[in-house]
Amino acid sequence: MAKGVSSKTHTQKQLDDYANQNNPNNKAYRARIANSEKTNQARNNKKASLKAAKRQAHFEEKTGVLYPLDWMCYSNPYDFD
């Protein structure tokens, strides 16, 4: 059975909006597709950055570098006054 909306449960305006959003010749359809692509791209970027952070954390744990590599950690900060 085809996916769609029923005229028994929706108004004519709702039926028209649904038809517009599923018609490739309509700007509402193109806008829906563009918004979907932007959302997917943002979601993929977020997933990629999270994956990179996890990979970096695993590397630091594996190599034993779990502390900040700041020069102030290895010297007396009052030596430079």
Is the Cβ–Cβ distance between 28 and 17 less than 8 Å? yes
pLDDT in tens, 42-66: 888 888 888 888 888 888 888 777 6
pLDDT tens digits along 15-31: 988 888 888 888 988 98
Structure confidence at residue 1 (pLDDT): 47
In whole angstroms, give the CA distance from residue 74 to residue 67.
Answer: 11
What are the distances in angstroms from CA 80 to CA 71, 72, 75, 76?
12, 10, 10, 8
Write down the pTM of the prediction.
0.45
Residue 69's pLDDT band (cuts 50, 70, 90): low
pLDDT of the residue at 12: 92
Residue with tokens 């030596």: 79
* Ordered DSSP codes for 42-53: HHHHHHHHHHHH
What's the pLDDT at 79? 65
